Every structure is written in structure tokens, then in C-alpha cells.
Amino acid sequence: MIIDCHTHINNYHNEEVESLQKCLEALQLEMRRNRVDVSLILTSYKVTAGRPSTHDAVRATRNLNNVFVVAGISYLHHTMDDLNSIRPYLEDGSVRGLKLYPGYEPFYPADPKLDPVYALAAEMKVPVMIHTGDTFTPKGKLKYAHPLNVDDVAVDHPDVNFVICHLGSPWFRDCMEVVYKNSNVYTDISGLVLGNFTDRFESYMHKQLQEMLTYGVEPDKVLFGSDWPISSMNSYLEFMEELRIPPKERQKIMYENAARLFRIPVQQQGFNIGSLLTKLT
């Protein structure tokens, strides 16, 4: 069983091009090829022809039982109406989490303007994923994307689970400490590379992840995610295969943690891990 907790259906090459259906088909094909059972697609902080809204993403994936949506929230432009409009999707499970994009937008996660977002996440018991580290565009502002900023919100909102996306890359140690210290903070390994890992970079990243686990980050707090189509799903699976960790830890990272955190009904996927579901909170 594999859950990819971090994919997109955005057209990064041309935002003017209508892409939803095509991207979704490409995602399904990529999942079949790589035996990925479930993917979460994260919608953007902006809506363009090439970046579908949460509503469009929910509509397009409604009949798929292996794809769920995480709703991107724009710090700059979201309104209470926007938050209320995704509430029914959180209730029916088509949206499994919320995503913020500090760095891409100029804000710190602890900004009080986001309190209603965290209140909604606490109420609906869904995690908040937070972009951290390097930005895809040089126009991003890195100080907002530092993983240490997640510590503030994690402490102030103990009833919300947070995911530091991309291991805080390249601030791995800071990410490590924030995940280690806060029981409500997780991290995903997505988006560490554009396309495929080179051998050198792969062994460098193996070392970072290994160091994190050695330092005391529990394997229960690390999630498999690729950031497809930015990163190659196949290359990511090879990366995980070559990581030297016990099979039980691998299993946690590959799907158990994500199933628990996003409350993904893995039983419906035909896998007999009922005991896992009973542990869901």
C-alpha cells in the first residue's frame, strides 16, 4: 500500500492552459504505473486556467475513490465565505486537509488573520499542511517559508496537526527539531528535487532523512509524498526503496501515517488493515 500525500494537478508550464482533466488522467496513469494506491492533490493558493480551484478539483475527483483533495488557502485573498464554502467538502470527506503557502505569499503561519483557518481545521479534525523551504519561483520570499515558523502555530494551536512540507528543505535540522519537539507536527518528504534524483543528491537526502530519524524524529511523523508533477513519482519510490530503514518504519512512512492523519478509508481500497482504522482519532 502506498499513499502519496502531496501531488498537484496544476499546469506549471503554462498557467493559461486549461488542464484539470488532462492532469488528472496523467496522475491516474502515473499512480497505476507506480502502484500508488491513493493520492492527495493539493490545490493552489491562486486560481488560474491552469490551476483549478478546490471546487473544481472536488467536482473532478468526486467519483474517484483513490484521490482526495487538500484545499489550498490564499492568505492574501481568502474570505470567511471561502472557508465556509469548503466546509461541506470537509464534512463529506472529499477535502482531507488544508494547505498554506508562506513564501509564495508573504505571511508567517502565526499571523492572526489565519486563526479562522486553524479553528476550522481543529473543528473538522483535518491537518494543515504548510509549504516550507525553497520556492519553485525566485519571486518567493524565503524568510516566510522557514520551518521554524511552524513551531509558533504548533504551540499556539495544540488541537491542530501540522505538516511541514518538503522537510523544510534545505533547513532540515530546523524541521527536525520542530517535528521532534511538537507532538502535533509531521513532515512530508515531497518536492526535494525537480524531476529525478541524481545519485549524489539521492545519497545526500538519504543522509538527511536518516539523521532526522536518528535524532529522534519518530517514523510515525514522516509522510511519503512526491510533489508530482514537479518531482518524479518513480524516482521518489526508488529513493524510498533504497533508504535503509526497518520494514515496519517504511510501512509507516509509505501509508500508515497518512492514513491515520488524513483519515483515509484504506479499507475501501481493499486492504485489510482494519486495526489501523480503529486507532484513528
Alpha-carbon gap, residue 82 to 31, rounded angstroms: 30
Cβ 134 to Zn ion, closest distance in Å? Answer: 11
Alpha-carbon gap, residue 150 to 132, rounded angstroms: 9
Cβ 42 to Zn ion, closest distance in Å? Answer: 6
Cβ 9 to Zn ion, closest distance in Å? Answer: 11
Q: Which residue number is nearest to Zn ion in terms of Cβ?
A: 227
Alpha-carbon gap, residue 267 to 62, rounded angstroms: 18
Cβ 270 to Zn ion, closest distance in Å? Answer: 28
Judged by beta carbon, residue 177 or residue 227, the one nearer Zn ion is 227
Q: Is 42 helix (H, G, I), strand (E, B) or coil?
A: strand
8 Å CB contact between 145 and 133: yes
Cβ 130 to Zn ion, closest distance in Å? Answer: 11
Count other C-beta atoms under 10 Å from residue 240's C-beta.
17
Judged by beta carbon, residue 45 or residue 118, the one nearer Zn ion is 45
Alpha-carbon gap, residue 62 to 120, rounded angstroms: 22
* Element at 101 (helix H, strand E): none
Q: What is the dihedral of CA 126, 243, 173, 193, to 10 degrees?
A: -80
Judged by beta carbon, residue 14 or residue 79, the one nearer Zn ion is 14
Judged by beta carbon, residue 30 or residue 227, the one nearer Zn ion is 227
Gyration radius of the chain's alpha carbons: 17
Cβ 230 to Zn ion, closest distance in Å? Answer: 6
Judged by beta carbon, residue 188 or residue 256, the one nearer Zn ion is 188
Judged by beta carbon, residue 89 or residue 104, the one nearer Zn ion is 104
In the block, cell 486495526 appears at 275
Residues that bind Zn ion (CB under 5 A): 227
Alpha-carbon gap, residue 184 to 189, rounded angstroms: 17
